[in-house]
Structure 1
Amino acid sequence: MKPEERDMQKITTCLWFNDQAEEAMNHYTSIFKNSKVLSVMRWPKGHRDEGKVLVTTFELDGVPFQALNGGPEFNFTEAMSQSIDCKTQEEVDHFWERLSEGGQPGPCGWLKDKFGVSWQVVPEQLPKLLMDPDRAKAGRVMSAMIQMGKIDIAKIEEAARG
């Protein structure tokens, strides 16, 4: 086995766009640290879409993605989303603001970006509090969360305290 084969990621998310793959890739890599464009494949000479982007590959904070300009046949839905684990309110605010810009904020930390891709912006405290063995505490956190769009860490921690 060649070294490069051993290091290959087995699963990569492929996002299907009509004609915005390159724009989306550039947008996402501008938002996430440690991100980079890996490749841009264009239609070859002689094809009716010669020179236009077909597939891009990129990394967001080290996680591989592909973006395909597949045409208008399919659209994104909330049935598939990208989840971002955040350590601080500053991170939550950064990703929420940048990704919801031109898109649609949703409930409970969910949003759709300007391309229609669904994202969950989740502070690391939230799942810990929701899984707390004290079910009353977890219930208070759930009640607070369902009233929020962007998750406010101070408010969910306050709800946890009762």
Structure 2
Amino acid sequence: MQKVTTFLWYDDQAEQAAQRYVSLLPNSRIVRVERMGADDADPSAGTVVVTFELDGIEYQAMNAGPLFPFTEAISISVLCDDQAEVDRLWDALTADGGEPSRCGWLKDRWGLSWQIVPRALIELQRDPDPARARRANDAMLQMGKIDIAALYAAADAG
């Protein structure tokens, strides 16, 4: 058990969200599901707390009702190796009611914000040629899902 974990508050689908997330990233798993207040008559009653790992990082999620919905003030950022990974995660996380946003950000169907970031973007933003880095960054600012080929085209257009 990690000493520090991110704790996510869901209305009523923490377990479903955790199952979806671990299905998308390697080295991910459900660690434990605790059902507090459930009984034999109604196993779905009570509070559910799910401990899960995404690429080895532990998170906890709880069904706690609609009092505190997610905002963009917190997000999970995933560094992707290539366009195929960007596309796969973007499509999976925006499916079934998720919402695409700008600059590689999206909200999943539960309202949690994600940043789907290709390594190429970070490398281009750190390019030793400041004009090339600026062109790549300016291109990213116009995108929803990040398009790696378009980033390179913009960076090299100078």
Secondary structure in structure 2 of the residue aligned to 1:72? coil
Find the partner of 1:151 among 128, 132, 146.
Answer: 146
- Distance in 1 separating the partners of 2:64 and 2:24: 24
Structural mapping, 1:1-162, within 5 Å? 8-44=1-37, 51-52=44-45, 53-101=47-95, 102-162=97-157
Cα deviation digits, residues 122-152 of structure 1 (max 9, x gap): 0011122112232211111112111111101
Q: Aligned-pair distance for 1:113?
A: 0.3
The change in CA–CA distance for 1:122 and 1:45 in structure 2 (over 3 A counts) is closer
Q: Kindly report structure 1 stretches of 4+ aligned residues shifted beyond 6 Å.
A: none
The change in CA–CA distance for 1:145 and 1:41 in structure 2 (over 3 A counts) is same
Q: Give me the TM-score of the superposition, normalised by structure 1.
A: 0.88
Cα deviation digits, residues 79-108 of structure 1 (max 9, x gap): 111000001111101111101112100011
Q: Does structure 2 conserve the Cα–Cα contact (< 8 Å) formed by 1:100 and 1:114?
A: yes
- Look up the equivalent residue of 1:62 and give its one-letter code: G
- Look up the equivalent residue of 1:99 and give its one-letter code: L
Q: Aligned-pair distance for 1:45?
A: 5.4
Structure 1 gaps of 5+ residues are 1-7
- Look up the equivalent residue of 2:102 and give its one-letter code: P
Secondary structure in structure 2 of the residue aligned to 1:137? helix
Identity percentage of aligned residues: 52
Equivalent residue number for residue 5 of structure 1: none
- Distance in 1 separating the partners of 2:44 and 2:101: 37
Q: Aligned-pair distance for 1:19?
A: 0.8
- Distance in 2 separating the partners of 1:110 and 1:29: 19
- Look up the equivalent residue of 1:22 and give its one-letter code: E
Count of aligned pairs:
153
- Distance in 2 separating the partners of 1:27 and 1:135: 39
Q: Does structure 2 conserve the Cα–Cα contact (< 8 Å) formed by 1:43 and 1:51?
A: no
- Distance in 2 separating the partners of 1:133 and 1:76: 37
Q: Aligned-pair distance for 1:61?
A: 1.7
